[in-house]
Structure 1
Amino acid sequence: MPVSPQLAVRETPIPGLLLVDLPVHGDNRGWFKENWQRRAMTALGLPDFGPVQNNVSFNATAGTTRGIHAEPWDKFISVVAGRAFGAWVDLREGQGFGRLFTAELDPATAVFVPRGVGNAFQTLEDNTVYSYLVNEHWSPEAEYTLLNLADETVAVPWPLPLDSAGPHRAEVSEKDRGHPRLAGVVPVPPRRTLVLGADGQLGRALRAVYDGEAAVEFAGRDSFDLASPEAFGSRNWSDYETVINAAAFTAVDDAETAEGRRAAWKINAAAVVRLARTAVEHRLALVHVSSDYVFDGGSSLHDETAPWSPLGVYGQSKAAGEAAVGVVPRHYIVRSSWVVGEGRNFVRTMASLAARGMKPSVVNDQTGRLTFAQDLAAGIRHLLDSKAPYGSYNLSNSGPAQSWAEIAADVFELCGRPRSDVTGVSSAQYFKDKQAAPRPSNSMLDLGRIEATGFFPPPAAGRLKEYVSRLAD
């Protein structure tokens, strides 16, 4: 066999279905090829799909015909010996449902078949050997989506007609002949997104951002307890593409107690390690929400490369969670600060005090920016939808740095109360004789990286005005 062209990956009319040109080096002794070469192939655009099983089909005679099967996993298919006519039909939900693509496969041509695309072939030579790598272990419980080889709508142009007779005829199993026509095939749904911590402030905002999206599933603590190993075993993770972890232990002061310390590490670190392991094993994209508390506040502006320097237990447990998520190949760590959403939060508390005629003392030596949950949720969706580069992103609302006392005064003013009703005090004064966690003195997060992806968080001042106005309704 002569030397084939260089390694190349070619797109097809079916999204995600890729043809691969494999260099085959031959001489009078035979030939050699690298059938699967992860580094080189992924560099050319082939998904890093994580094969776990290699299957081989030997076909004794030309005309052997198998399919059309859409298994719930990805496949990398090649011919070891002989030639085959390949046919692929998109059986996934969407406008491409029923689209056909065909090509001839020999040792120099392979194909990557994504989950939900039906695969079939007909051998063109005797003794054709057909090999495929898959990224899930075969299971008798696996649910296949099947299409009849003779479907009139798709109309695969088989080299040997399926109803031919004589010595050169198509060999088709009775089982394959009994598969449904296209009109009777239920399209393969997309893999789902699972939102954990769906009942918290961010979880509620994510519910709003993904409202009406059938492929997004929301799980509060009652349906998925992140700290419970049993919860992980209750899911068929092959049904999921992405997990958004909005669950956390956030009681920063309680975290300094013996009981709170254990709870913080259990939820923010140990459970996140288990979640990261699950993401690696099942090739999930993992979005993990972290906090400005992983820093000590010693810098005027924290970017994504700043080293961890947490002051208290809460920040330490969140930094440990970040370390675990960082080993997941497809991950987003989204750091926020001073979150405000639907639920208990600082702005709601200040508005309540203003309504009751109170004159609070508020810390004036801790500065940062508010993060409104609706914008945090929108930013997370933007990262996923835009397929932004994986890694860490800071995400708060934009605008100048403010102290807690300045924000409290803004809330009072928006509620029709004088700003002077808020008295600024130092952290040492405010927390005197109270059990309190150490807090970063400066929580300002650099937004340059997320803005470079095309997401620009709106100013905190405008969001604060809208939020307080809704509280008054």
Structure 2
Amino acid sequence: MSDLAVETTAIPGLLVVRLPVHADARGWFKENWQRAKMTALGLPDFEPVQHNVAFNARRGTTRGVHTEPWDKFVSVTGGRAFGAWVDMREGDSFGTVVTCELDPATAVFVPRGVGNSYQTLDDAVAYTYLVNDHWRAGEAYPALDLADPDAAIAWPIPLAEAEVSEKDRSQPRLAEVTPMAPRTPLVLGANGQVGRALLAALPGAVGVGRDELDVTDADAVAAWPWHRHDVVLNAAAYTAVDAAETPEGRPAAWAANAAAPAALARVADAHRLTLVHYSTEYVFDGTRGDHVESEPVSPLGVYAQSKAAGELAATTAKRHYVLRTSWVVGEGGNFVRTMARLAAGGVSPSVVDDQVGRLTFADELVRATRHLLDATPERAPYGVYHVSNGGEPTTWADVAAAVFEAAGRDPGDVVRVSTAEYAAGKTLAPRPARSDFDLAKLRSTGFEPAEALPALRRYVAGLG
């Protein structure tokens, strides 16, 4: 009896598993799927949801080549079968063929997009397979002619002598097959500053606004084809901080900022997705700075409270990154653009000088997002991360003065006022006085944030 082992093959992700079989006079026993032991050896934790068995009465029964949009773990419970797999995914490995003999001591993990086929070498072979998604009516996926000359599968029993269905005999050849596309990231809130930056940086990402997918609508969420995606990036939010305090704004803020992330967390677990959720420094009351991820949240207003609840909901997803960020600047309306416009117009604005934080440029936030997604879970574990540009913390007035200087205006033209002075006569939601983050956890993953002030100067120069 050999030890449990996992072997790689010429098809990326296709793994051969050698199983210990315990035999005696009564027969044999094996652990056909053993999550802890197998994942420790490199098999993906693919979360099977269904176990199927195909009984094949006669030697020579041949099935495939079928390419389902889910992962499979195939094996036999008696007798032998010749297995053949063809990579049908987009990419350099398209058309690669791997074969091996299946017996009770050999199983194969077949990743999504790899065509699966087999031919029984004995009578009465039960071919079993675990899958991690349910069959969907109307779902089309690639199939391949068993006799395709380009694949050139060396069937032990000639196909002319084998038991093959008419459907499997009439499948297209490799040159006619449309390769299976990879699952793509889905960006929610695609029209916002962060959403636009994400779409620009993530090849193949699909972006949707609320008019295309309202995640506060249970029916719309249920109908969305989540199986086409591998990552959901939730950049959608109710961000009208002051309006959130109104009778109309309160329910809207809670629906978008709390209920929607809860729905997305359920979706992520149901479809094996990674959820990236963007949050805010407003979850802290700002009575102290240098906020660490483990600091208990202390939100002040309705917007802040709804975002804190959304964070908690998002962290219930098995695979999640909650990225708290501050003072976001990207494409679209933002504080920096406003200050640049006022500088150009000869205005001398009053800007608060007692709220402290760091700017976060949208492209820097996206760079951190990609870094976390590309890293291994061991290097960048799922969880909450603080993300902003680096450098010394500043006040809003400091930022305004830097914009004026970059625009050719005297930075002294910015009138520095306190929050109380600015708020006099206005109905404003409370703001945290200190918004600066400790970035040590993010740095521990190998990411070094770019400093904020040089990035600010580049941004202003790009405004033309």
Give the TM-score normalised by the residue count of structure 1: 0.94
Structure 1 residue matching 2:160: 3-state secondary structure: coil
Q: Does 1:464 align with 2:456?
A: yes
Moved more, 297-306 or 247-256: 297-306
- Of residues 384, 392, 401, the one that matches 2:384 is 392
Moved more, 290-299 or 67-76: 290-299
Amino acid at match of 1:75: K
Amino acid at match of 1:283: R
Instruction: Tell me the distance in 2 between the aligned counterparts of 1:44 and 1:441.
Output: 49
Q: What is aligned with 1:358?
A: 347
Q: What is aligned with 1:179?
A: 171
Q: Does 1:119 align with 2:116?
A: yes
Question: What does the per-residue CA deviation read over 1:235-275, in whole Å, with 9 as the maximum and x for residues that have no partner?
Answer: 21111111111111111121122221111100001011111
Any stretches of 5+ residues in structure 1 without a counterpart? 165-169
How much does 1:433 deviate? 3.1
Question: What does the per-residue CA deviation read over 1:275-322, in whole Å, with 9 as the maximum and x for residues that have no partner?
Answer: 111111111111111111112223431222222222222121111111
Instruction: Tell me the distance in 2 between the aligned counterparts of 1:342 and 1:429.
Output: 30
Q: Does 1:321 align with 2:318?
A: no
Q: What is aligned with 2:236?
A: 247
Amino acid at match of 1:84: A
- Of residues 90, 101, 124, the one that matches 2:98 is 101
Amino acid at match of 1:100: V
Instruction: Tell me the distance in 2 between the aligned counterparts of 1:297 and 1:19.
Output: 54
How much does 1:372 deviate? 0.7
Structure 1 residue matching 2:244: 3-state secondary structure: helix
Q: How does 1:388-467 map to 2 (within 5 A)?
A: 388-467=380-459
Question: What does the per-residue CA deviation read over 1:19-66, in whole Å, with 9 as the maximum and x for residues that have no partner?
Answer: 122222222222222222223322332222221211101111222111
Q: What is aligned with 1:46?
A: 43
> How many residues are treated as equivalent by the alignment?
461
- Of residues 294, 297, 302, the one that matches 2:283 is 294
Q: Does 1:71 align with 2:97?
A: no
Any stretches of 5+ residues in structure 2 without a counterpart? none
Q: Does 1:159 align with 2:141?
A: no
How much does 1:451 deviate? 2.7
Query: Is the contact between residue 72 and residue 142 of structure 1 (CA under 8 Å) also seen in structure 2?
Result: no
- Of residues 76, 81, 87, the one that matches 2:84 is 87
Q: What is aligned with 1:276?
A: 265
Query: Is the contact between residue 63 and residue 123 of structure 1 (CA under 8 Å) also seen in structure 2?
Result: yes
Query: Is the contact between residue 12 and residue 19 of structure 1 (CA under 8 Å) also seen in structure 2?
Result: yes
Structure 2 residue matching 1:145: 3-state secondary structure: coil
Query: Is the contact between residue 226 and residue 247 of structure 1 (CA under 8 Å) also seen in structure 2?
Result: no
Structure 1 residue matching 2:390: 3-state secondary structure: coil
- Of residues 195, 199, 202, the one that matches 2:194 is 202
Structure 1 residue matching 2:339: 3-state secondary structure: helix
Q: Does 1:37 align with 2:34?
A: yes
Q: What is aligned with 1:167?
A: none
Structure 2 residue matching 1:392: 3-state secondary structure: strand
Structure 2 residue matching 1:347: 3-state secondary structure: helix
Give the TM-score normalised by the residue count of structure 2: 0.95
Question: What does the per-residue CA deviation read over 1:186-212, in whole Å, with 9 as the maximum and x for residues that have no partner?
Answer: 1111111111101011112123223xx
How much does 1:432 deviate? 2.6
Instruction: Tell me the distance in 2 between the aligned counterparts of 1:12 and 1:303.
Output: 44
Instruction: Tell me the distance in 2 between the aligned counterparts of 1:9 and 1:250.
Output: 49
Structure 2 residue matching 1:286: 3-state secondary structure: strand
Q: Relative to structure 1, is the Cα distance of residues 442 and 93 closer, same or farther in structure 2, using a 3 angstrom cutoff? A: same
Instruction: Tell me the distance in 1 between the aligned counterparts of 2:197 and 2:90.
Output: 27
Moved more, 79-88 or 385-394: 385-394
Structure 1 residue matching 2:248: 3-state secondary structure: helix
Instruction: Tell me the distance in 2 between the aligned counterparts of 1:393 and 1:265.
Output: 22
How much does 1:406 deviate? 1.0
Q: Relative to structure 1, is the Cα distance of residues 183 and 465 closer, same or farther in structure 2, using a 3 angstrom cutoff? A: same
Percent identity among equivalent residues?
60
Instruction: Tell me the distance in 1 between the aligned counterparts of 2:454 and 2:327.
Output: 16
Amino acid at match of 1:41: M
Query: Is the contact between residue 87 and residue 101 of structure 1 (CA under 8 Å) also seen in structure 2?
Result: yes
Q: Does 1:344 align with 2:333?
A: yes
Q: Relative to structure 1, is the Cα distance of residues 40 and 320 closer, same or farther in structure 2, using a 3 angstrom cutoff? A: farther
Q: Does 1:267 align with 2:256?
A: yes
Instruction: Tell me the distance in 1 between the aligned counterparts of 2:313 and 2:75.
Output: 36
- Of residues 145, 162, 165, the one that matches 1:148 is 145
Amino acid at match of 2:332: G
Instruction: Tell me the distance in 2 between the aligned counterparts of 1:134 and 1:411.
Output: 56
Query: Is the contact between residue 358 and residue 388 of structure 2 (CA under 8 Å) also seen in structure 1?
Result: yes
